[in-house]
Chains A and B, each alone.
Chain A
Amino acid sequence: MTTELAVEALAVEAHGLVKHFGTTKAVDGIDLAIPTGTVYGVLGPNGAGKTTAVRMLGTLLRPDAGTATVLGHDVRHDADAVRGLIGLTGQFASVDEDLTGTENIVLIARLYGFSRGAARARAAELLSAFELDEAADRPVKTFSGGMHRRIDLAASMVISPRVLFLDEPTTGLDPRSRNQVWDIIRVLVDDGATVLLTTQYLEEADLLADRIAVIDHGKVIAEGTATELKASVGSSSVHLRLADAGQRTLAHQVMSRTLGVPVLLATDTSALSARITSARDAQDLLPQLFHAGVEVAEISLGQPSLDEVFLSLTGHHAEATDDATEEVA
């Protein structure tokens, strides 16, 4: 591509992005500013507009309003230049399941202009780096979930993209495969690439992202580092996990009586949490629970989790289905 070696301070910049589907406002005025060389997490529940936003930034969807640039190139008017700099992986950008791992990478390399030999060499290099050499000659449809995600990622890296959009890269993966994907992301960013990552998992955003935008109903409702977001909710919190989920009602009673604050029931049916002003407030909790016969599997004190951040920002859990949201006072 051209002389794009001048380092842009912002890898991705968006102002007032809007996309409507019929009467649904999938994305309703999103602003983003993603510094070059960082991981940016876009966090939100299903249907929040994450995928639509990424598709617009990746030139797959024309915004109805607003502007966006990737490394200084407008996604609408300079789409081809953007396509030359980005890699996309997600639910929506996959590989051909009928072809083998090698054939998929060769196909993409040939489309970028690699010669036949160079394309094969590149495929071998990438498949080996992603630990897929043994599966190189098998159709992708025979791959496990983790292998499939790795070939998707490898396919996005044929030309070493400077900005990578990963749409829910770990959704549905087992913990080991998830760790592998996280490693890949860390290495990419170490090498100076910029990664935009959407996720429904708070843990993932917390672990990987330098900055996080929380999206709900097509709008950014909070933005900052994980620590800033947690701090915005204030205070510290106490988390409790029970050995027996059946004791949650009892534990809830003991907890609210001892702490004198509202106790939240987490999506995990054996977990509870409460926000307190200082750790000292929780000193009586363990003896009281013990006394009441509640079997505690785990108790911890710390900053509020991003789930709690999400709850306080939106009034519902990030991963909530529907009725897991009740707050009992």
Chain B
Amino acid sequence: MSAPDTATRQGTARPGSEIEVNPLRAAIAPRERPARPSAVANAFTFGWRALLKIKHVPEQLFDVTLTPIIFTLMFTYLFGGAIAGDVGTYLQFLLPGILVQTVLIITVYTGFTLNTDITKGVFDRFRSLPVWRPSPVVGALLGDTVRYSLASTITLGLGFLLGFRAGGGIVGVLLGVGLLLVFAFSISWIFTSLGLVMRSPNAVMGTSMMILMPLTFASNIFADPSTTPSFLQTWVGINPVSDLVTAVRGLMAGTASFSQVAWVLVASAVITAIGAPVTMHLYRTRT
């Protein structure tokens, strides 16, 4: 509260009001405007906002830090003996996949956050400003890469502690994470579209999870699909997440082929080429 009981001050417009007219008049008087900033500058300003939100609401990092720990421990020890015979061998197989799953699950928050902005009215404020139109969404995605990087660091750190060894060395690991971030950036456009269409943040969350479940679980993250029924093998084969996991595994082991990596980049480009225009169309025409 700003001192509600102070007596009426000099210069106020009317008794009972606390607003002093002179500073107010000075503050809102017409003034020179700065030159319009570049599209990139706008996007980075929105990225800065995403970081500020992390600073003020650090709880939102709980899932980014805890999900990787729980997933890695749980699946390594739960399936390790049964699937690969021993935990150490399974971790070598699982860790790149669990990294992919962890980061992809965090991408749904992009849509959730966007929808929260819409519900709260912040989004319309941004739309009423003369800024590069996609910048609020692009900026949010830039901010999200910080979350993805944090989740990746935690997953990998825990993996190394448990005995994961990367044949591809530090370069292979970094390339693997980089490829994963590219893919995460591209599928985020699906969730931003949902964020613009759905009525509530929770609906966005639910629907996004429904999309992610078949993408992550029905893939080659947890087990080699060769023992599964043929319809599932067909799905796993066309699932772009399987290609991503194969490429990340390959990069970290130092055995990736050019085509494995290229295929993921092509898939990311295609998803972005469809998702980004759809998001921007919804953004422009949103009512």
Contacts and interface: CB of A to CB of B under 8 A. Distances in A.
A233 B16 CA distance: 34
B127 interface: yes
Given A111-B37, A130-B19, A160-B31, A187 B24 contact: yes
Contact of A118 (B23, B34, B285): B34
Interface stretch (B118-126, B181-189, B240-248): B118-126
A120 to B, nearest CB: 13
B227 interface: no
A112 B34 contact: yes
A113 B34 contact: yes
A181 to B, nearest CB: 9
A192 B30 contact: yes
Contacts, number: 155
Contacts of A13: none
B2 A132 contact: yes
Contact of B127 (A60, A113, A125): A60
B28 A159 contact: no
Interface residues of A, number: 65
A135 B19 contact: no
A54 B52 CA distance: 31
B122 A96 contact: yes
A139 interface: yes
A217 interface: no
Interface stretch (B72-80, B99-107, B128-136): B128-136
A187 B25 contact: yes
Contacts of B25: 187, 190-191
B31 A61 contact: no
Contact of A111 (B16, B33, B117, B131): B131
Given A125-B27, A135-B2, A176-B4, A187 B124 contact: no
Contact of A183 (B19, B57, B124, B130): B19
A257 interface: no
Interface string A130-146: 11111100010000100
Nearest to A141: B56
A114 B34 contact: yes
A224 B189 CA distance: 48
B17 interface: yes
B28 to A, nearest CB: 5
Interface stretch (A34-42, A78-86, A284-292, A316-324): A78-86
Interface string A84-112: 10101011111111111001000110111
Interface in A47-81: 55, 58-62, 80-81
Contacts of A94: 120-122, 124-125
Residue of A81, A86, A90, A159 contacting most chain B CB atoms (<10 Å): A159
Interface residues of B, number: 51
A99 B28 contact: no
B140 to A, nearest CB: 12
A147 interface: yes
A328 interface: no
A21 B18 CA distance: 42
Given A99-B49, A130-B19, A183-B21, A191 B129 contact: no
Contacts of A91: 121
A131 B287 contact: no
Given A94-B121, A160-B30, A108 B129 contact: yes
Nearest to B128: A88
A93 B31 contact: no
A321 B101 CA distance: 52
Contacts of B125: 88, 93-95, 108, 155
B14 interface: yes
B66 to A, nearest CB: 21
A287 to B, nearest CB: 36
24 contacts: A59-B127, A60-B127, A81-B130, A83-B128, A83-B130, A94-B120, A96-B49, A98-B52, A98-B56, A110-B41, A112-B129, A114-B34, A115-B34, A125-B26, A126-B27, A129-B24, A139-B56, A159-B33, A176-B4, A179-B17, A183-B12, A183-B14, A183-B24, A186-B13
**Among all A-B residue pairs, the 8 with the closest Cβ atoms:** A129-B27, A94-B121, A113-B34, A83-B130, A113-B37, A183-B13, A84-B130, A93-B125
